[in-house]
Amino acid sequence: MPAARVPDLAPGNRRGYTAPMRVLVQRVRRASVSVAGKPVASVGRGLLVLVGVTHEDDAAAAAKLAAKTVRLRVFEDDAGLINLSLQAVGGEVLVVSQFTLYADTRRGNRPSFTRAARPEQGEAVYAAFVQALRAEGVPVQTGVFGAHMQVELVNDGPVTILLET
């Protein structure tokens, strides 16, 4: 039996496929980011959010995901149920740019990143995401866009969720 053909889902194809904006949300007890061995940002209880931007993303997509992120019910209530949002627990957010969320490994062993937005667009959408989080009233710290960063975290649970527009 021949293998099923996998459709080409690269941006700009003729099928009209649009890749969603992605954020990988991790519930943390604490998280920090350093650049060249120097601390840049840190948070206590809250979320570490890795942000991936693709070609079709814009400020509207960023605002939609920011609203979803702060309302995502991933914290335990008094009964031990995962039922509370970041806002409800007064948590913090550490946002880190992560173009590798768009790695395509369908062919070979070297990931392709052609679905990731160019840096100029990626940085603008990343900044819009951060601004939208702040507009929601949550404390936000950030990494350095485009820098080689070291991210440390204590994942709580672990709870890790991929959100897409």
| Residue numbers annotated as active site | 98-100
Q: How far apart are CA 154 and CA 165, in angstroms?
A: 27
Question: How far is residue 43's CA from residue 137's CA, in Å, rounded to a whole number?
Answer: 15
Give the CA dihedral 88, 92, 98, 102, nearest 10 degrees: 0
Among 87, 92, 103, 78, CA closest to 28: 92
| E-only strand ranges, the chain | 22-35, 38-43, 46-52, 75-76, 82-84, 92-97, 140-142, 149-164
Are 46 and 93 in contact by the 8 Å Cβ rule? The answer is yes
